Structure 1
Amino acid sequence: MQSTAFIVFHSAATPCAEPAGLRRTLAAAGHAVIKEQSFERAGRNGARWEVTGTVRQLRALVNPLDNLLARSEDLELRTSAIAVVPAALVRAKKLLLVMDVDSTLIKQEVIELLAAHAGREAEVAAVTEAAMRGELDFAASLHARVATLAGLDAEVIDAVRGRLELSDGAAELIAAFKAAGHHVAVVSGGFAQILDPLAAELGLDFARANDLVIVDGKLTGMVNGQVVDRAYKEVMLRTWARELGVDMEHTIAAGDGANDLDMVGAAGLGVAFNAKPLLREAADARIDLPRLDIIADLVGIS
């Protein structure tokens, strides 16, 4: 049976123009487009082509074109993207999507919201930014940032939880995956006291984050147990896939920073969502538009 994969492109432009030279490039290399499907969604338009060839062959052709788009001086082109998605992933009856939380599932960085209550937001934000660029050890940076919270009333957790904003398309993405019989989980370098109620509200299958130590109603500036760093995120992706009986080739991982590198690299499809350069370069697909539900477009879930 002939190997195929899916090429998916999307753009904020209306209509979404076929990437220049894509069809010619494929044909010149001996690949045929055997099925085409256009889609129009909130905030973007695009198309999904089923193409003959292996994922490796097609990425060798498509990735240079996507890199050209990413470096374009034209904002409309720069936020367009092309990705190759394995056919096995699109056709899987059961998928597992695992997402980062801060700046992925939600628009904010929770630790910065907490630090604002201690008057340390700018300081903590600078450390967070460096950690997400991969310039600092995440566990060490987390301990340093959490230490700035020492002495805060635990009530700030409720105040911060009330300020959370889901990324555009996040609720729609989760609903689409769940309606199709798939599984969704989140793993975060943030905090369980913030994440667990949100995960329950969204109906997620699993959620894992760091546990803030609270004594006598005050934050101590410490966390309990294993820090959720990049290695641990991959462990959770593999653990949940095993518990659900989902093959790793049928998993999707999405994030925005260096702390997501391992799980994005291990998943059947790794997605960089408005990500730092280190993760963008490592991911299988990039999303540079503010719509998280583009992930559903990538794997053909409407």
Structure 2
Amino acid sequence: MTSTHLLIIVGPTLPQNLVADLEELGVVVNEQRPVPTEHLDGVELSVRYEGSAEELSNLAASHGVDIALLPVGDSPSRGLICLDCDSTLITGEVIEMLAAHAGKEAEVAEVTDRAMRGELDFEESLRERVATLAGLDKSVIDSVSQAIELTTGVKEALATLKEQGYRVAVVSGGFIQVLEQLARELELDYVRANTLEIEDGRLTGRVAGKVVDRKAKEEFLREFAADSGLDMAQTVAVGDGANDIDMVTAAGLGIAFNAKPALRAHADVSINLPTLAGLVQILGATTPGDIQ
């Protein structure tokens, strides 16, 4: 028996021929309703589909939209969303922004990219990159904190999800000193990140305590779920790099955001637009009402 799915489509605009193209792939549309947000147009389709997710992904790319195919019926309600920070919650990589103050941005960026592709051990690469910061005045932390830019749509999306009862967490391979103010502004329920060691007002080039690596991210997600009284099936994880794989696969719904292939291969949903506004539609946190 063909199962029914919810097909969620979001984009700057929705092409008029998109549904016709979906039907050519074998998608049978039963019902639909528009679900636009401030930043994106969107539609939710109740469909029957037996084809591959890859075909849908290719079609989405050709139309400049994102498509998420989700099961319906027995799907649990979600209650916790956990996001990576660098290149997910925010647009840049904090370690590279800090390294720019030491004249090492290009060198560090190359190592970061390899680590996110899964080519390097994350902890080893992090310690190597942090070592380039040795001797910098601690004031660079404030400078970088003020220069951080949120990913388009994420502030509004998280506010909507919190209104819907979600708890929001951020787990970062970056640094807690940079995230503290952002965590307050976004009213995050949980935040975990690495700690830059500081002595006599200067960065030592070392990380204090245990490194937040791939394994630690999953462990924190499980900790947050337990603290919230939720099953793992009720969690959502969003990330972009190889160090997010364990967290994304452990979550009830794993989302890859403009991600490296290493992570996309493990995610339930891939977002390829440069905005996280579509989280609202993908998680179903829209205005209540039946699809029509």
TM-score (norm 2): 0.90
Amino acid in structure 2 at the alignment position of 1:124: V
In structure 2, relative to structure 1, the CA distance for the partners of 1:38 and 1:206 (3 Å cut) is same
Q: Cα RMSD (Å) of the superposition?
A: 2.2
The superposition leaves residues 268-295 of structure 1 with CA deviations (integer Å, 9 ceiling, x where unpaired) of: 1111111111112221111111111211
Q: Which residue of 1 aligns with 2:35?
A: 39
The superposition leaves residues 97-126 of structure 1 with CA deviations (integer Å, 9 ceiling, x where unpaired) of: 000000000011000110011110000011
Amino acid in structure 2 at the alignment position of 1:162: Q
In structure 2, relative to structure 1, the CA distance for the partners of 1:15 and 1:130 (3 Å cut) is same
CA distance in 1 between partners of 2:208 and 2:191 (Å): 16
Asked if structure 2 preserves the Cα contact closer than 8 Å seen for 1:10 and 1:45, the reply is yes
Q: Which residue of 2 aligns with 1:81?
A: 66
- 212, 223, 230: which one pairs with 1:239? 223
The superposition leaves residues 193-252 of structure 1 with CA deviations (integer Å, 9 ceiling, x where unpaired) of: 011221112101000000111011010011112111111111111110111011211111
Q: Which residue of 1 aligns with 2:184?
A: 200
Q: Which residue of 1 aligns with 2:135?
A: 151
CA distance in 2 between partners of 1:207 and 1:260 (Å): 15
CA distance in 2 between partners of 1:178 and 1:48 (Å): 21
Q: Which runs of 5+ in 1 are unaligned?
A: 28-32, 53-57
Alignment map for 1:54-203 (pairs within 5 Å): 61-69=51-59, 74=62, 77=63, 79-87=64-72, 92=77, 94-203=78-187
Asked if structure 1 preserves the Cα contact closer than 8 Å seen for 2:25 and 2:51, the reply is no
The superposition leaves residues 26-74 of structure 1 with CA deviations (integer Å, 9 ceiling, x where unpaired) of: 44xxxxx55322222344322212346xxxxx5x62403224236x5x4
Residue 178 of structure 1 and its aligned partner are, at CA, apart by 0.8
Paired residues in the alignment total 284
CA distance in 2 between partners of 1:243 and 1:84 (Å): 29
Asked if structure 2 preserves the Cα contact closer than 8 Å seen for 1:107 and 1:166, the reply is yes
In structure 2, relative to structure 1, the CA distance for the partners of 1:147 and 1:89 (3 Å cut) is farther
CA distance in 2 between partners of 1:141 and 1:235 (Å): 20
Asked if structure 1 preserves the Cα contact closer than 8 Å seen for 2:76 and 2:233, the reply is no
**Aligned-partner SS, 1:18:** helix
Asked if structure 1 preserves the Cα contact closer than 8 Å seen for 2:39 and 2:277, the reply is no
CA distance in 1 between partners of 2:94 and 2:269 (Å): 26
The percent identity for this pair of structures is 48
Q: Which residue of 1 aligns with 2:250?
A: 266
Asked if structure 2 preserves the Cα contact closer than 8 Å seen for 1:63 and 1:82, the reply is no
TM-score (norm 1): 0.87
Asked if structure 2 preserves the Cα contact closer than 8 Å seen for 1:89 and 1:249, the reply is no
**Aligned-partner SS, 1:282:** coil
